[in-house]
Amino acid sequence: MSHPGYFDFVEARGKMKNLLSLFLGRSTGITGRKWFAEGGSNKRVKDRKHFDHLIETYLPKQRGLFWKEGMELPEIPEGIL
């Protein structure tokens, strides 16, 4: 995401969640679903070891969609974007 001036992180996160929810709803045909939790964690990734743990262990165990580099890209149905 790019913006020419200051953009509050919380506001940017909210806008990103809103857009992702729109696209997820379009792709699944599900309306009114809450795709993301309220707010979110502001915890930063501490180092490469922490990042690797999140990608390899923590995130794949969470409910919902997950993609990482090396995995096949999901097919995007026409009309979603």
**Model pLDDT for residues 23-79, shown as the tens digit of each residue:** 888 888 888 888 888 877 778 899 999 999 999 899 889 877 778 888 888 777 777
pLDDT of amino acid 2: 62
- Tell me the C-alpha distance between 75 and 36, whole Å: 21
Q: What is the pTM of this model?
A: 0.55
Q: Report pLDDT digits (tens) over 34-43.
A: 888 887 777 8
What pLDDT band is residue 80 in, cutting at 50, 70 and 90? low
CB atoms within 10 A of CB 24: 16
List phi, psi (to 5°) of 68. -140, 160
Query: Domain extents for the chain?
Result: 1-34
pLDDT of amino acid 78: 76
Q: Which two tokens stand for residue 66?
A: 């997950």
pLDDT of amino acid 9: 82
